[in-house]
Amino acid sequence: MKRIAFLLKVKEDKIEEYKEHHRHVWPEMQAALRQTGWHNYSLFMRDDGLLFGYFETPVSLAAAQAGMEKEEINTKWQEFMAPYFESPDGARPDQMLVELTEVFHLDE
């Protein structure tokens, strides 16, 4: 499995609302993520809205994104979530992921 880490930025005035939506992620969206290879997916947020995401996938971020691109529920979720993110060019949240380079990993 490849470990993927990424950053996004949630608008500061939307943080609490964003968190509430993620307490109730649509079951269809969760199923689509699982089916397209998003495993052990977690989101972490700093107080200022900087969001760190982590998941594991069999191939790559690009392959995981390509799988989700085919899922109709993903389009609906991304459009629903778009107003919560700082996006200078109007891109959907799933098109703005800044993948981080792994520099260290400690196995058990």
Q: How is the chain split into domains, by residue range? A: 2-99
- Report pLDDT for 98: 86
- Distance CA(94)–CA(75), nearest Å, equals 9
C-alpha–C-alpha distance, residues 108 and 89, integer Å: 41
Closest-CA residue to 81 (of 34, 31, 38, 18):
18
Task: Give the pLDDT confidence score for residue 38 in this predicted structure.
Answer: 97
Max CA pair span of the chain = 41
Q: Which residues are catalytic?
A: 22
Both tokens of residue 64?
């995981």
Local mean pLDDT, 10-residue blocks, the chain (108 residues): 95 97 97 97 97 96 95 96 86 86 92
Architecture of domain 2-99: 2-Layer Sandwich (3.30)
Which parts of 1-108 fold into alpha helices (H)?
Answer: 15-22, 27-35, 61-69, 72-81
pLDDT given for residue 68 in this prediction: 96
